[in-house]
Amino acid sequence: MQAGGKWVAAAMLAAGVATAMPAAAQGRKDTLLVLVESGPNNLDIQGVGTSFRSYVASWNTHDRLVSFGTKTLADGTLSYDYTKIVGELAERYEFAPDGMSVTFYLRRGTTFHDGSPVTAKDVKWSFDRAVSVGGFPTFQMSAGSLTKPEQFEVIDDYTFKVKFLLKDKLTLPDMAVPVAAIYNSELAKKHATAADPWALDWLKNNVAAGGAFKLEKWTPGQETVYTRFDEWKNGPLPAMKRVILREVPSAGNRRALMEKGDADISIDLPPKDAAEISASGKYRIVGVPVENSLLYVGFAVKQAPFDNVKVRQALAYAIPYEAIMKTAVYGRGVPMFGAPSGEPKTAAWPQPFPYKTDIAKARALLAEAGFPNGFESTISIDLGDATVSEPAAVLLQESLAQAGVKTTINKVPGANWRGALAKKDLPIHIASFGGWLNFPDYWFYWGYHSQNGTFNTMGYQNPAMDKFIDAARYEDDTAKYEGAVKGFIQMAMTEVPRVPLYQQFMDVGFQKNITGYKYWFHRQLDFRQLVKN
């Protein structure tokens, strides 16, 4: 333990961290200690109710057929590049002359963690599973028009073919997201049953994979330990031999441990900490605006009074945007309010909506809607994101009261949040959604389309919106595509089933000897590029 060890030990005990974590251990060049607010609830990315904090487990332990390339951002940070698709398990791929299929050629000599060879049969089983288990994984595959096991064909042990139902620009990128993980099918099938043919129960707590890291230990609520798979051949062998993700719920304790040098990386930095540490320089902060991602205020539009568009517009004018940016977010975000026009000038997404705080206008619209004296409701928030959502909810509550809308704050435990949103009955809710694929029509397909219930937390249904989204998804002509995108953005601005607040930053803290960080759309660490100098 370093100087001040008694204080550090006390902080670690308060955080629920075992005190057998000497600072000297963090000096090992081949081991990383990463602090997170909370860890995975499921090791299976295709499992039922898998939280976004579980993505890190799947991403680092599994391979995918393809991945995204790399680019360098203006500040020198490495980032994935959604415009480039490169091989991972597949060393190359070829499209058919008619553009209606793609054939993947797998790297030979690759194995799973148990030493068994990776073959095209494993790829087919994994894809069949993804389109068949239902829920989020199946919705995600359908976003790239991958919906039927019949689309997937084993040519031989090292050749795998995907047949297209239609030409969809999202098909290939959709194979590079976490859901398209490749499983050790023979190992998984040993634990399948008639009632559970896809071994969901077993894979919730076990890994059947061949990615760059193996699962050494998972203690839910405490830590997850990964060790390098030295036989991995689908990229350069990672520098780190061991990565420990330790769950420290208190942001203050995570900050203290980092400032004392007792951890290497801290994820889940609250905006206040990120702003203060960035200014102080005590350790390095990397903040990247999360592509295709927004924190928003949503309304259950099938419930009165939120089924009235004027009520929704009124509340959009009652939101204290500037106060939330200053007090809850500390400027760690890109504002999405105050646009000069309700007509989008470009097809870029995200872009600001034409609302700003105007209580008088909010009151006037409420009166027009038949609520001159306001009404009562609730604001629901995710306790797993309370460092931002709770102060934002308090500010929103105070501002809505000025417009005559009295609210109470409903605090939903993080483990129950996604399930609560799925019911689409939270009258007013503060939530976030980030689209894995950086296309406006992809974000709107998930967030606004009538046929997609997963992240349409408002229960919004509008055939005209659906028509714009569907037109954009399959349009090759640039002008027509941008016209459709502007159409659904303008409709979202007018109908406001949800009101964007800001585009979030992905803030990560690093000790100054850590290099190689790469920002990914799923907002989780990729261990493969990290180096400890």
Residue 318 has what pLDDT?
A: 98
For domain 5-264+511-532, the question of CATH label 3.40.190.10 is answered with yes
The reported pLDDT for the residue numbered 170 is 92
Beta strands per DSSP E along 339-462 = 375-382, 405-412, 428-434
C-beta separation of 4 from 259 below 8 A: no
- Cα–Cα distance list, 49 to 16, 135, 196, 200, 458 (Å): 25, 9, 16, 11, 19
Which candidate, 428, 309, 319, places its Cα nearest to that of 370?
A: 309
Q: What is the mean pLDDT of residues 15-39?
A: 67
| pLDDT value, residue 28 | 83
Cis peptide before 305 (omega within 30 of 0): yes
pLDDT above 90: residue 22:
no
Rg (CA), the chain: 24
Phi, psi of 25 (to 5 degrees): -65, -30
Q: Which pLDDT value is given to residue 19?
A: 40
pLDDT at 16 (0 to 100):
41
3-class secondary-structure state, position 218:
strand
For the stretch 505-527, pLDDT in tens is 999 999 999 999 999 999 999 99
Q: Which whole-number Å values give the CA distances from 374 to 363, 402, 517, in the listed order?
A: 8, 10, 49
Tokens of 301: 């539009």
Q: Determine the average pLDDT of the residues in 304-322.
A: 98
Between CA 384 and CA 431 the distance in angstroms is 11
What residue segments make up the domains of the chain, in order of their start? 5-264+511-532, 293-504
C-alpha span between 274 and 513 (Å, rounded):
18
d(CA 355, CA 30): 50
410/407 Cα distance (integer angstroms): 9
**Which CATH code is given to the segment(s) 293-504?**
3.10.105.10
**pLDDT at position 385:** 83
For the cut 90, the answer to whether the pLDDT of residue 78 exceeds it is yes
Could you report the per-residue pLDDT of 192-218, keeping only the tens digit for each? 999 999 999 999 999 999 999 999 999
Give the 3-state DSSP-derived string for 484-513, with helices as H, strands as E and coil as C. HHHHHHHHHHHHCCEEEEEEEEEEEEECCC
Mean pLDDT for the chain overall? 92
Q: Fill in the DSSP letter of residue 6.
A: H
Q: Which tops the pLDDT comparison, 207 or 434?
A: 207
